[in-house]
Amino acid sequence: MKGHIQLRWYHFLISWFLCLFTGFIVGIIISVIFGSASEAIEISAAVNGVAMAASAPFIILFCIIVHFSVLKKKRTKDEIHLRVFIIHLIGSILVFIGILFFLEDNRDEIGFYIMALMAGYFTVDSVYFHLSINRKAVNESYENTPELELLDSGI
């Protein structure tokens, strides 16, 4: 259907789950490389469990905000990319601040590692969001081009 945006809120939720799965696999690989192969799955599962628990409220709020403020309005792909990125960035910063707030005793020691982990998840999540938008959103510049008539009725 011409002009129909196929991008839905649940595409972002699926991207988030794919990001967590990617983080789980990468966590196992990193654990094996740095010497704790026997506990690689447990360590990766624990890190992803914390990531999931910390970001689950945000992804729910993110999907609601994106659904009503981005997807319900007529926007170009570039506008969707920009708005989704800004909302995602703001939410990630708020989650980071929230985590640091709960870890006030060990903030200096753990803050760098949390920041590095969150930067990794943010990057992977952003890539999955970008791919979903590119795959499911209709580009407005193509939508407004007139249909070509193959047969000219004036001939």
Q: Confirm whether 154 is domain-assigned.
A: no
What is the reported pLDDT for 70? 92
What is the reported pLDDT for 30? 85
Token pair for residue 59? Answer: 């992804």
Q: Confirm whether 94 is domain-assigned.
A: yes
Q: Confirm whether 49 is domain-assigned.
A: yes
Give me the domain span that covers residue 91: 9-138
CA–CA separation, 9 and 118 (whole Å): 22
Task: Count how many domains the chain has.
Answer: 1
From residue 50, alpha-carbon distances to 21, 44, 46, 64, 135 in Å are 13, 10, 6, 22, 30
Q: Confirm whether 155 is domain-assigned.
A: no
The whole-number mean pLDDT for each consecutive block of 10 residues of the chain, a chain of 155 residues, reads 70 94 90 81 88 90 94 90 94 82 69 80 92 80 47 51
Owner of token pair 């992803």: 48
Q: Confirm whether 104 is domain-assigned.
A: yes
Which residues neighbour 96 within 8 Å (Cβ) at sequence distance 6 or greater?
114, 115, 118
pTM value? 0.77
Q: Confirm whether 143 is domain-assigned.
A: no
Give helix then strand counts, H and E, for the chain. 5, 0
Q: Confirm whether 98 is domain-assigned.
A: yes
What is the reported pLDDT for 148? 46
Q: Confirm whether 65 is domain-assigned.
A: yes
What is the reported pLDDT for 154? 54
